């Protein structure tokens, strides 16, 4: 039987020891399932590096010299829209983490995670899920108590769209499921985010989970 597929990871981080440590530890901690295929310590070069190394997933340090990690995420998302992106930081900063999600990251992980602890959340991101630490999720959901219940403000079609988003479905997959065009999906998604008073799909997914819609 063939073994599990290899996960190609690119690193955007200006700390050489952290990068080298992951290059050595990720393959060992994951039984060879994850390996680093490219890295750069220059946020401005991140998009080019990702295009050249063709990873499945990119880990981006948020605390980098200008233009910084958030702008690197936005550039990667524009130039390589299919790649999955996870933001990382050594500091607990909910606001910066939310900025990274708005820029296009699918998840956020603390940099003090052990290598063997990284595989489950990275696999979840590759499967289409948004991955957030419990503390950050609590910060995102803090305003929810002041909102009407999700089930009270959404109709059947909007709840279905929210469930598809929360399951990590792409625009193409949602269009196929709803039997509409991709342009219509983008328009409906933008309207849904406005109605929920959130800015990103990850925040919408958090609301769906909190409302028991998954």
Q: Are residues 113 and 37 in the same domain?
A: yes
Query: Does 42 lie in the same domain as 117?
Result: yes
Task: List, for residues 177-209, the tens digit of each pLDDT value.
Answer: 999 999 999 999 988 888 887 777 877 877 777
Is the domain of 119 the same as that of 165? Answer: no
pLDDT beyond 90 at 57: yes
Counted domains in the chain: 2
Range of the domain at 201: 147-210
The CATH number linked to 127 is 3.40.50.2300
Q: Kindly state whether residue 167 falls inside one of the protein's structural domains.
A: yes
Angle at 144 between CA 140 and CA 150, to 5 degrees: 115
Please indicate, yes or no, if residue 197 is contained in any of the structural domains: yes
pLDDT band at residue 170 using 50, 70 and 90 as cut-offs: confident
Residues 99 and 164 in one domain: no
Q: What is the pLDDT of residue 58?
A: 97
- In this structure, are 160 and 123 located in the same domain? no
In CATH, what number is assigned to the domain containing residue 203?
1.10.10.10
Rounded to whole angstroms, how far apart are CA atoms 98 and 164?
A: 21
The span from the CA of 32 to the CA of 136, in Å, is 30
Instruction: Specify whether 159 is located in the same domain as 122.
Output: no
* Same-domain check for residues 14 and 108: yes
Provide φ and ψ at 2, rounded to 5°: -70, 150
- With pLDDT > 70 as the criterion, what percentage of the chain qualifies? 86
Kindly report the backbone phi and psi dihedral angles of residue 167, in degrees, each rounded to the nearest multiple of 5, phi listed first: -85, 0
**Residue 89 shares a structural domain with residue 14:** yes
pLDDT of residue 92: 66
CA distance 32 to 115: 12
pLDDT in tens, 136-164: 766 666 555 555 566 567 888 888 898 88
Same domain, 29 and 98: yes
Note whether 17 and 120 are same-domain residues.
yes
Residues 111 and 164 in one domain: no
- DSSP collapsed to 3 states, the chain: CCCCCCEEEEEECCCHHHHHHHHHHHHHHCCCCEEEEEEECCHHHHHHHHHHHCCCEEEEECCCCCCHHHHHHHHHHHHCCCCEEEEEECCCCHHHHHHHHHHCCCEEEECCCCHHHHHHHHHHHHCCCCECCHHHHHHHHHHHHHCCCHHHHCCHHHHHHHHHHHCCCCHHHHHHHHCCCHHHHHHHHHHHHHHHCCCCHHHHHHHHHHCCCC
């Amino acid at each position: 039987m063939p073994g599990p597929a290899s996960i190609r990871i690119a690193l955007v981080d200006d700390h050489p020891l952290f990068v080298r440590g992951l290059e050595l530890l990720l393959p060992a901690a994951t039984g060879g399932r994850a390996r680093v295929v490219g890295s750069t310590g220059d946020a401005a070069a991140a998009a080019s590096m990702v295009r050249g190394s063709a990873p499945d997933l990119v880990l981006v340090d948020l605390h980098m010299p200008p233009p910084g990690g958030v702008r690197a995420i936005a550039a990667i998302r524009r130039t390589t829209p299919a790649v999955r992106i996870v933001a990382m930081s050594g500091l607990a900063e909910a606001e910066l983490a939310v900025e990274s999600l708005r820029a296009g990251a699918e998840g956020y992980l603390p940099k003090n995670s052990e290598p063997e602890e990284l595989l489950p959340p990275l696999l979840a991101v590759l499967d289409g899920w948004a991955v957030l630490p419990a503390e950050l999720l609590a910060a995102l959901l803090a305003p929810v108590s002041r909102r009407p219940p999700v089930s009270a403000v959404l109709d059947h079609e909007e709840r279905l769209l929210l469930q598809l988003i929360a399951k990590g479905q792409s625009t193409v997959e949602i269009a196929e499921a709803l039997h509409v065009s991709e342009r219509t999906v983008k328009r409906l998604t933008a309207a849904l985010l406005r109605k929920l008073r959130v800015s990103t799909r990850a925040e919408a997914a958090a609301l769906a989970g909190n409302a028991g819609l998954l």
